[in-house]
Structure 1
């Protein structure tokens, strides 16, 4: 047996002499091959015993030479190339075709629907509609919504608006246990995907915290590296993912989105956000919550709540300043999120399907109350229906 030199540090190539018969696999010479037997053998058995390649097995020569490329970091065989010693070349090409078709099964990558977008772009609404249609469950990837508390301030979807869909990592984490890191979220996401898959449900990862999304999806993650720091050219975005992902990016023209976000802040104030923050400050939780205290709304109201009771302080001005700061900071957050999404798409080559929801948002901002149905029709036509077709096709693929 002749061992081929590895084409790169992550791949090992070697000859296997003996053709497609499963009982001849043991002829692999492990003494000259640096790949561990307990990893290679099960995958070879899976390949050569697969029913999908049985039709072309009968024409494979038992003295066939194969070149097998093995990727140790992925624990999978990446390519099997046959070198014909007879006229069975066509059958051997078919053999390669069937192998590549079954490659995903050998790698055992879970399918995952990933819905991204800036804050307020409609990710939650779309995810619930799709989860209903595709028997799905939703994993939250908003770094502030993972914590218990401040439901209005962090804009968690109320239970009665979740469409009876199971939501995970949404208000599940006790903020007094510390700040949830990207590594923590990566571990939790992996566990939740496995859990959802075990129930034969479709997992959806939904949220605007792009750093959490990147940490949970990339195949090799380095917590010491910030891939969104463009000042460091060595911080590259990997295109290798640990799941088989379908990416949906809900996008809204920034000027339209920012106008909508300002309006949404006013609605949050009317829904009891100030009272929620007053209770939070009164409880003394600020010093005990290193993560949740960074939610937009908490630091902006610091001066207002710490100055109450002093006659010399114009509370009305402090209140207006806090609300305006929340609006400005929310728009800044949306801009940063869009920039990070674009980096994943361009630098990382992530296949994000952009869904332009601008028309429906513009309709929301310009419609009277009795015209609200119009924006829903636009939303369905321009966002929901294209998403449905994409997800359906993705789930039907092998």
Structure 2
């Protein structure tokens, strides 16, 4: 009964920049359609830092079943593969119980691991490798050295990765060592005709993209930072720093690593200098200055993260003609006073239409042909000799070639070349004249 019923339910995914109201809509959908919420946020998966990671409140968490929130201790490591392997059974179990799965979050890799079959290590897969495990000492090697190693072992994958992207380079090397097969070959086998990974995992997925006017969102994000401070952000960060991170800085030769675990949270890196101050230093003029700079950096980082989320959504859903994408519906959250009309009602109508199998009079967002007119491929790494810059993908390369900075560097290079040619010509002319003078003498 449950499995049959599950075919009538969609997998709902809610995307949107931080501050657009994803939590609010997820709770409304869960209440309306007897749903359960699956967190897809790499920071909210950890305990602690509730304010910094913008988690739902205790009351909100209690109002609907939540999964993949507050399940890890701050010191524990968690990969996207581990996330996927835990989430998929949870979603399938919801379908079997006729519960609407509502995936909410802003971590790109988490969302992609659910929607597409693009990761290695599918559950149940067992492959023996002659390589064994990637030697621990290789993790300490510089990124360019590791990239050169990958180029020798898996040249196709090496072309897709920037030489400075150490995390992904190590991941590709680990795949080879653990499985005895190249990462690029596995992706090719999974992807079929799609060069960007496998097909859709769930053919019943629908995506809600919460959108907000840029200026309104910027103001909303600034207000959010102010609210976070009122709610005790500084005390939370200080407490967390004392309990979990103080030991990391006793050895002055070790830099803070904000690329792993909960330490990636926006707020921790920005307040790093302030957190290291002694209590009596925090109240000095210098301490207050450092705090104000930290606040400015937090506001900038929050806005930058929001822009990044938007760019990812457009790139992965609207600018792809080389992969299957689920229908994506835009919901305008700019005017909070019109939330019910612009967000709640259309979202309910779309889900209702899917469940009842009736034609929905709300159209999904069309694909952006103007964006994928440039081939969307990650199969080549390009080098701009003028700017001394490495770019991954033809689109990125084409955009760079048209950007203002490249044109300025190109003009400067031409001027320098012209000056060199003039100088060489003058030198040559002087040499010729000198030779003629000597011959006359």
Shorter-chain TM-score tier = 0.5 to 0.7
Give the one of 259, 266, 283 matched to 2:226: 266
Give the one of 237, 240, 244 matched to 2:199: 240
- Equivalents in 2 of 1:162, 1:171: separation in Å? 11
Runs (4 or more) in structure 1 with deviation over 3 Å come to 107-111, 222-226, 228-232, 234-239, 284-290, 309-313
Give the one of 20, 25, 39 matched to 1:140: 39
Contact 2:22 2:105 in 1 (8 A): yes
The alpha-carbon deviation at position 356 of structure 1 amounts to: 1.4
Contact 1:138 1:165 in 2 (8 A): yes
Query: Which residue number in structure 2 is paired with residue 315 of structure 1?
Result: 287
Query: Which residue number in structure 1 is paired with residue 272 of structure 2?
Result: 302
**Gapped runs of 5+ residues in structure 1?**
1-103, 361-374
Relative distance call for 1:260 and 1:237 in structure 2 (3 A) is farther
Q: Is the aligned partner of 1:357 residue 2:333?
A: yes
Q: Is the aligned partner of 1:335 residue 2:310?
A: no
Give the one of 103, 110, 125 matched to 1:205: 103
Root-mean-square deviation over aligned CA pairs = 3.2
- Equivalents in 2 of 1:214, 1:291: separation in Å? 19
Per-residue deviation, residues 363-385 of structure 1 (Å, max 9, x unmatched): xxxxxxxxxxxx1xx00000110
Give the one of 53, 61, 79 matched to 1:154: 53
- Equivalents in 2 of 1:335, 1:163: separation in Å? 31
Of structures 1 and 2, the one with the larger relative CO (CA 8 A, separation 6+) is: 2
Query: Which residue number in structure 1 is paired with residue 298 of structure 2?
Result: 326
- Equivalents in 1 of 2:275, 2:341: separation in Å? 45
Contact 1:139 1:168 in 2 (8 A): yes
Listed as ranges, the matches of 1:1-398 within 5 Å are: 111-162=10-61, 164-178=63-77, 180-222=78-120, 236-238=195-197, 240-243=199-202, 244-285=204-245, 287=248, 290-308=260-278, 309-310=280-281, 314-345=286-317, 346-347=319-320, 348=323, 349-360=325-336, 375=337, 378-397=338-357
- Equivalents in 1 of 2:327, 2:68: separation in Å? 25
The alpha-carbon deviation at position 278 of structure 1 amounts to: 0.8
Contact 1:128 1:163 in 2 (8 A): no
Scaled by the length of structure 2, the TM-score of the pair is: 0.57
- 3-state SS, counterpart of residue 307 of structure 1: coil
**Gapped runs of 5+ residues in structure 2?**
122-153, 166-187, 189-193, 249-256, 359-441
The alpha-carbon deviation at position 229 of structure 1 amounts to: 7.8
The alpha-carbon deviation at position 239 of structure 1 amounts to: 7.4
Contact 1:246 1:394 in 2 (8 A): no
Contact 1:140 1:146 in 2 (8 A): yes
The alpha-carbon deviation at position 206 of structure 1 amounts to: 0.6
Scaled by the length of structure 1, the TM-score of the pair is: 0.63
- Equivalents in 2 of 1:326, 1:299: separation in Å? 9
Per-residue deviation, residues 145-191 of structure 1 (Å, max 9, x unmatched): 1111111111111121346200111111222221x221111111102
Relative distance call for 1:145 and 1:260 in structure 2 (3 A) is same
Query: Which residue number in structure 1 is paired with residue 409 of structure 2?
Result: none
